[in-house]
Amino acid sequence: MSKIIHIVNHLPSTVTTRKAIRLINDSVSFSDNENVVFDFKGIAFISRAFADEFIHFVHKHKIKARFTNTNPNIREMLQVVEKNRSRRNNGYHNIAVTPLPEKEQLNHLLSLF
């Protein structure tokens, strides 16, 4: 028997920040290896940051998680975060650092923007 967590009972329909995980953590307790269904019905959007924090939360608590009623955007976000947990693009590109000591130079740059 799985525990069912209706996310919408803990979070609003748009979930923006990592810290929002606190609203689930403070109101639900989980045991190791527990089967949990996270039901996303009523949730329209989760940020990448929250998705990352959420996946960390699931792994940290060793939850056997299943996600239901995820819209395509939420599904995509969770999949991307899960996929990149152990993979990182370490590419680095140098950006031109250009001091503009004269006010006219600064104004010229901003006129291009």
Interface ranges with another protein (CB under 8 A)? 11-20, 22-23, 45, 47-50, 52, 55-56, 73, 76-77, 80-81, 84-89, 91-101, 106-107, 109-113
User: What minimum distance in Å lies between the beta carbon of 33 and another protein?
Assistant: 23
β-pairing, 14-15 with 35-39? unpaired
Residue 35: in which H helix or E strand, if any? strand 35-39
Compute CA 65 distance to the chain's CA centroid, rounded to the nearest angstrom: 16
Closest to another protein by CB, 33 vs 90, is: 90
| Cβ distance to another protein smaller for residue 4 or 80 | 80
Q: What are the beta bridge partners of residue 68?
A: 39
